[in-house]
Amino acid sequence: MQANVAGVSAKKTERLLNLVICLLATRRFLSVQEIRSAVPGYGQDTEEAFRRMFERDKEELRELGIPLETGTNSHVHEDEPGYRIARRDYELPDITLEPDEAAALGLAARLWQSAPLAGATGTALLKLQAAGVDAAPVPAALEPRVGASEPAFEGCLRAVRDGRPLTFTYRASGGKPPSSRSVEPWGVVSWRGRWYLVGRDRDRDAERVFRLSRIVGDVTEAGPAGSVVVPEQVDLRGMVARMATDEPRLTARVSLRPGTGWELRRDAGASNPDPERDTWTIVEVGFSDPERFADRVTGYGPDAVVLSPPQARAAVVERLRGLAS
């Protein structure tokens, strides 16, 4: 998965997404003022500016096919009309995905947990609860499963979105001492369970790929927004596949429940029926670090069982014990 977001629409996208979640999470009609106080992005405007923005946002959601329902909570008093999104009208019917499509959605869910959108969304739901609004559970489709834990993740993603150059200290492979890098970021890509920054290394005047877990300390913005131009037709994922180091040295055998583990299935070198578990499948997946492999597998919970090698199985068992306690 690659993230390459236009900065000009980021705030609007965040506001619309929070508005949708806010209206989905309530069981009653919310007044305009309740929406203003609960949804980040509205509170700083004057009343007139807020009303104009809210009207534009309503029209945009309707153009996107999102059904806004208007009504009141009292049949006796003529309250100001409120808004909500009826889940029965919003939810999609059952969808059948191809394995590669399901894998892409799984990776998108990983990004969701660490993206800046997640914090604002949580704030909106907390405001609803504080205001006494009976909030329904967040739709399962928006529930994050596994996140990116690298400290540099959000800084790199923000620089890509805004088109700003970056500087950071990077620890290369092979025991080399850390060195300073100046980079024009083009995208953030997930590849084989790791996150990479792709861009142009200014000092070397060449395309480079940087593993986020090897960035030491903070990343620093080093130029104005919009000063980085991503080349047309650039294949970020292809660059990572070609240039990323530390290819898997070991092979793990993982048994998967039917219909689960698409990311592991996609990367598998072999796949066979599990003789011990009816309808399950054993996949063979390459890895280098047992702890990082455990990060990939643990998110599947009981749907994935690591059979071998012992170090990979032990890492997953230890992780699950920690979660259970």
Q: What is the per-residue pLDDT across 260-278, written as a single tens digit (0 to 9) for each?
A: 888 788 778 788 999 999 8
Enumerate residues 6+ apart whose C-beta is below 8 A from 291: 315
Average pLDDT, the chain: 76
DSSP codes joined into one string, 9-49: GHHHHHHHHHHHHHHHHBSSPBPHHHHHHHSTTTTTS-HHH
**Model pLDDT, residue 8:** 36
The predicted model scores a pTM of: 0.42
Report the CATH number of the 153-243 domain. Answer: 2.30.30
Give whichever of 5-14, 78-87, 180-189 has the largest mean pLDDT. Answer: 180-189
Q: What is the pLDDT of residue 305?
A: 95
Tokens found for residue 148: 């990116």
* Domain ranges for the chain: 2-142, 153-243, 250-324
- CATH class, 250-324 region: alpha beta
Please tell me the least confidently modeled range out of 48-57, 103-112, 172-181, 205-214. 103-112
pLDDT at 22 over 60: yes
Write the CB contacts of 242 (distance below 8 Å, at least 6 apart in sequence): none
Q: Which amino acid is at 293?
A: F
**pLDDT for the residue 106:** 53
The Cα 107–Cα 144 span in angstroms is: 10
Least confident range from 37-46, 72-81, 130-139, 245-254: namely 130-139
- Say which residue the tokens 């070397």 belong to: 204
Integer Cα distance of 108 and 141 in angstroms? 11
- Band the pLDDT of 201: cuts 50, 70, 90: very high
Smallest CA-to-CA distance from 297 within 266, 249, 263 is with 263
- Radius of gyration, alpha carbons of the chain: 23
Helix (H, G, I), strand (E, B) or coil at 178: coil
What pLDDT is recorded for position 139?
Answer: 43
- Cβ atoms of 153 and 114 closer than 8 Å: yes
